[in-house]
Structure 1
C-alpha cells in the first residue's frame, strides 16, 4: 500500500508549483500585478492601473445601460406623430406671424399689431379664420417632422461615442443636414402653399376655395415649380433653424446629464430646454424667415431672387423689417419646439417597449 501513489490535493498537486494555492497572489485570474513589477517594467503604479481598469469598466457599463441610439424608423414615426399634434395646437400663432410679415410697409399697413390682427381676422372670418391654411401645414407637418428627426438620427448615430453621447459641434452639423433635407423634401412646397392661401384670404376677392382647389390652381397656372418658390431662402432658413435648435438642445442635454448618460430627463425639463432652443432659433434666423415668406407670397414676382428680395426689403422698409412678426413667431416657435421634443421623446420611449431593435 505504501508503494501506491498518494492522491494529490489542491494544495499539494501540480498546481501548487504554478502558484494556484488558496490565497496565493496568482490564485485570482484577473489579479493585477504588483506595483514593483509594474514600476520595473515602466508601466506605472498599481493605483494607476486600477483607475484605468475602473474607467474602462465604467465606460463599458455606460455603453450597455446608457442612452440607446434611436433607430431611424422609430425617429420617423415619433417625429410624424409629434409634428401632427404640435401644429394643431400652435397654428393660430403661425397665421398671425405670416399676416404681419405680409403686411408690407410700402402699402398702408392694415394691422396695428398682434391683437389687432387677431381681432380683424375674427371679425371678418370668425374663429375659423385663424386656422385658414391649417390643412397645408397639417398635411406637411407630419412628414416634415418625420424627415427631420429621421435624418438627424441617421446622421448622428455614427457620430455618437460608446455612451450614446453626441458632442455639440456634431449636433450642429447633424441639425443642419436635417434642416436642409426637410426644406427640400417637404417644407418649401408646404410653406409656399400655406403662404399663398393666407395671402389670398387678404385679397378683396379670394381666388382659392380651399386647400385642394388652391393646390390645383397653383399647379395648373405655374406648374410644380410654382410650389417651390423661395427654395434657396427656405433651405437657408430651415438649415440654420434646425442647426441652432439641435445644437442648443444637445448642449443643454449634455450639461444636464453631465457624466451620467443614463440620467433620465423629466418632460418638464425637456420642454424648458426645447423652448430655449426655439427662442434661440427665432432670434438667429427671423430675417431669413421674412425673406422666405416674401419670396413665397402672391407678389413674389416683384423680386428677381432671394438676394434681390432681401435688398429691396432693406432699401424700402429698413433693417427693422427683417424682424417683423418676431413676437408672434417667438411664442409659436417656443411652444412648437417644446411640444415636439417632449412628444418625440415620450413616443420613442413607448416605441422602445413595443419595438425591439438592435
Structure 2
C-alpha cells in the first residue's frame, strides 16, 4: 500500500503519516453525513408494542429526516472531533502499517508478504492508534447522537472543545476513554479488514495481465476493503456506538447482552447499509487520495 513490490516503504514515515492524515481527513469530510445517519440508526432502540414507528428508517431516510428537522449542517455534526480523530488515528494506523509489517516479516524478507502478517500488522496499528485517539471518537459520537431538542432546551455541548472539557469536568479524565474495549476491538478488526484486504486485493489485481498500479486498481481494492471492513466490524461498531452514546451500560459485555436480549441479533447489523455506504465510499475516497498524496510526497522527497 505504501510499499514497493518487496514490501519496503519508499517514502519516509513522516511523509506517510502526513499523506495518511490528509487522505483520512478528506474522506471524513466527504462521508460524515452517512456516519451521522449510521450512529442515529445504531442508537435507535427497538420499538415496543403500541409505540409509534421508528423515527429513523434507512440510510437516505435518516439523512433526510436529520436535514429536515435539524438543518443540513447537522449532518456534519462531529466533524471537528472527526478530523481530530482522522489526523491522529488515520495517520498512526496507516503510517505505522508498513514499518510494523516489515518488523513482523523481518528485515531480510524477500517476496510477497503473507496475508497473516498483513492482518497482524493492521491489528497492531489499529489497536495502538485508537488507544491514543479514543477521546476524539467519544466526542464525535456524543455530538452526532444529539438530535433535535425541545424549544428552549440547552444543548449538552456547544462544540467539540466544550465537549472535551465538559466530559472531563463532569465525568473525569477517564471518561474520555469510555468504550475503549469495543473501540479497540472494532478499530483493530476494521483496520485489519481495510488495510490487509486493500493490500491483498491490490497485490492480486496487479498480477492480472492488463492491470497496472492506477486509479482503477485503487478503486477496486478500496471497494473490497470497505466491504470486508463492514461485514467483519459491524457488531463491535454497534456496541461501541451504543456505549459511547448511552452511559447506562456498565460494560462491553453488558451492552452486548442487553442489545441481544432487547433488540435481537440483527441489531448488531443495524445501520449495515449506511455503514457500507459510509465505509465503502470512505475507503474508496481515502485510498484514492492516499495513493495520489503519496505520489506527491514521493516526488518531493526524491527531488530534495
Bin the TM-score by the shorter chain. 0.7 to 0.9
* Structure with max Cα Rg: 1
The verdict on how the C-alpha distance between 1:330 and 1:352 changes in structure 2, with shifts beyond 3 A counting, is same
Most deviating of 288-297 and 143-152: 143-152
Normalising by structure 2, we get a TM-score of 0.88
2:204 aligned to 244, 255, 262, which one?
255
Offset at 1:163? 5.5
The verdict on how the C-alpha distance between 1:280 and 1:80 changes in structure 2, with shifts beyond 3 A counting, is same
Alignment map for 1:104-115 (pairs within 5 Å): 104-105=45-46, 108=51, 109-115=54-60
Q: In the TM superposition, what whole-angstrom CA distance separates every residue of 1:147-181 from its partner, at most 9, and x where no partner exists? A: 01122122023427665632211111111111101
- CA distance in 2 between partners of 1:163 and 1:339 (Å): 31
Match of 1:355, SS state, is helix
Offset at 1:247? 2.1
Corresponding residue for 2:16?
75
Offset at 1:193? 0.5
Q: Which has the higher contact order (CA 8 A, sep 6+)?
A: 2
Normalising by structure 1, we get a TM-score of 0.75
2:274 aligned to 324, 328, 337, which one?
328
- CA distance in 1 between partners of 2:250 and 2:290 (Å): 40
What is the number of residues matched between the two proteins?
290
Alignment map for 1:45-64 (pairs within 5 Å): none
Corresponding residue for 2:220?
272
Offset at 1:253? 2.1
Q: In the TM superposition, what whole-angstrom CA distance separates every residue of 1:268-291 from its partner, at most 9, and x where no partner exists? A: 211211111111110111010000
The verdict on how the C-alpha distance between 1:114 and 1:257 changes in structure 2, with shifts beyond 3 A counting, is closer
- CA distance in 2 between partners of 1:162 and 1:303 (Å): 46
- CA distance in 1 between partners of 2:5 and 2:123 (Å): 29
1:99 aligned to 24, 28, 40, which one?
40
The verdict on how the C-alpha distance between 1:193 and 1:199 changes in structure 2, with shifts beyond 3 A counting, is same
Gaps of 5+ in 2: none
Gaps of 5+ in 1: 1-62
Corresponding residue for 2:136?
190
Match of 1:209, SS state, is coil
- CA distance in 2 between partners of 1:162 and 1:68 (Å): 10
Corresponding residue for 1:238?
187
1:307 is aligned to 2:253: yes
Corresponding residue for 1:355?
301
- CA distance in 2 between partners of 1:344 and 1:274 (Å): 11
Offset at 1:255? 1.4
